Chain A
Amino acid sequence: MHKWFGPLHVLRGVSLEVQKGDVLVILGPSGSGKSTLLRCINLLVRPDKGDVFLEGVRVTAPEVRPEWVREQVGMVFQQFNLFSHLTALENVTLGLRKVRGMDDETADEKGKALLQRVGLARKMDAYPAEVSGGQQQRVAIARALAMDPKAVLFDEPTSALDPEYIKEVLDVMTGLAREGMTMIVVTHEIGFARNVAKRVLFIDEGVVLEEGTADEVLLSPKHERTKAFMGKILT
């Protein structure tokens, strides 16, 4: 996959594959193209060269509606991006009601179950500004899960959080992984990568520098740049 932003060559031929039920963690310094890569997968950003396949379907084909792809590949953002004018429950059910055309009652029922699952049943009537960052991010995870996605993309889901809230979000993500959700996670949380990731990818300057199991990439990196990066974030 290739992507240019003007003269800037952000993705310089990245290839990756994720099997159903696997967790792939993507590491890399900031500006390395990780976020762009995630956005290319659900077509929030259209790759300039290269294709995305979802269960064998080439979703980058011009006749495929990007909305159809995004329904099936959920996304969780660094800044949560909850809809400020909607309550937690309304945030979760918006897609069900407007994209799926579900009636309010069924949508609410499903929304409540999802909020329960991320441990926020009590907060369903709260607005985003009324809950903590960790709770906002858990609502955002529930919102992504509401569409019954085949995979969920996480774009640095804990980077904007105060340290005290990181664990509650990682716990929810770990639970999801254990239940067999397919996940692609951009993160600097090494502990999470080691516990949960089936494979780890190290990206720098728009190319994959290293790929392997968590221990291979984290503990015995082969590439100089990977070594330097690990040295910085592990100490």
Chain B
Amino acid sequence: MAGLTPERSAGPRQEPGGNADGWARVWRVLDHPVTARVLIVVYVVAGIYLALGLGRLVGLIDPDLWILLSRLLSEGAGNTFLFSVTIIPIGTGIGFLLGWGRVSRHPLVSWPAAVYVDIVRGLPPLLLILFAYFWLPFILQMRGAFNAGLVFAVLALGIHSGAYQTEIFRAGFNSVARGQVEAAEAIGLTKRQAMRHVILPQTFRVTLPALGNEFANVIKDSSLLAAVGAADLVFWARNVQQFAFQELGWVFVIWIIIALLYFVITYVITQVVSILEQAYRVPGLGSVSF
């Protein structure tokens, strides 16, 4: 059980210096699971940028293509990351509140939450995006304002993910045995305190794996935003491709780069969840309890 404590999974914090056992030190750091995961990400990103930079230097990439490529790597990757980290909290906020609503004893609260889940889960995210982008600004008379359509499209993906996260949180709330709430009240805790100190910490632990999974989905779903002109990875990949389509080799290279960048963004976010999972792991929670 010692290996599951937060200190261990937070990674070794050894200061460099003293190279008496230099290789052993390096190996110890590499050997640590978290460090190894960080390194994978660093290697992949550095590898892509280095390879392309080198290609430019030796003249393999012409200046016009280079401009497009660099925008793909900066703006495209940046926007995909930005969309993801915007959509995820929106979905989690909706999911948490409605998931809580789903377990409510009042039908006026639980019923609308259930209807929301059923409707939103039944619609393709692309349809939600198109509706939000083209129709909402029109209906709300917001044409010509800031890029309202895109904001709505991002919100639509948040609403989409929120439906799935509602079910995740519902399961999380349900997993806390009713008797524990009773026990909390029996020692004098108020309902609010029981929520905060007994239900939420357990919901948090139980929902983490499923949330990590859903976050990974959100990142990939965000690629649909390219359909309404959001300048994310897929959008820029198409631009570059149009420029370079005479050379089939380049098309492959670009899509491999895109795939790797999606992998990296997904990996970073799911690893954050996974590290939280390990740091807060409690024997008996998340597996069969009493």
> What residues make up the interface of A, taking CB atoms closer than 8 Å to B?
42, 44, 66-68, 70-71, 74-75, 77, 79-85, 94-95, 98-99, 127-130, 133, 136, 140, 143-144, 146-147
Contact = CB atoms under 8 A, between A and B. Distances in A.
Given A77-B182, A84-B284, 14 more contacts: A44-B185, A68-B188, A71-B187, A79-B290, A81-B177, A81-B182, A84-B202, A94-B184, A94-B189, A98-B189, A99-B189, A128-B289, A129-B284, A144-B187
A1 B202 CA distance: 36
Contacts of A128: 284, 289-290
B207 to A, nearest CB: 13
Given A80-B290, A85-B205, A42 B283 contact: no
B189 A129 contact: no
Interface string B185-206: 1111110010001100110010
Contacts of B179: 77, 79, 81
B187 A95 contact: yes
24 contacts: A42-B186, A44-B185, A67-B185, A71-B187, A74-B186, A74-B187, A77-B182, A79-B177, A83-B183, A83-B198, A84-B202, A85-B202, A85-B205, A94-B189, A95-B188, A98-B193, A99-B193, A128-B290, A129-B283, A129-B285, A130-B284, A133-B290, A143-B187, A147-B187
B227 interface: no
A144 B284 CA distance: 22
Given A128-B290, A136-B290, A83 B184 contact: yes
Given A85-B202, A98-B193, A99-B188, A127 B284 contact: yes
B204 to A, nearest CB: 9
A222 to B, nearest CB: 35
A70 B289 CA distance: 27
A105 to B, nearest CB: 19
Contacts of A75: 183, 186
Contacts of B193: 98-99
Interface of B: 177, 179-180, 182-190, 193, 197-198, 201-202, 205, 282-285, 289-290
A142 to B, nearest CB: 11
A172 B282 CA distance: 28
B180 A84 contact: yes
A146 B188 CA distance: 11
B183 A77 contact: yes
A143 B189 CA distance: 13
B183 A70 contact: no
A71 B289 contact: no
Contacts of A42: 186
A85 B179 CA distance: 14
Given A98-B197, A127-B284, A130-B284, A81 B180 contact: yes
Contacts of A83: 180, 183-184, 198, 202
A42 B182 CA distance: 11
A173 B185 CA distance: 22
Nearest to B177: A81
B79 to A, nearest CB: 38
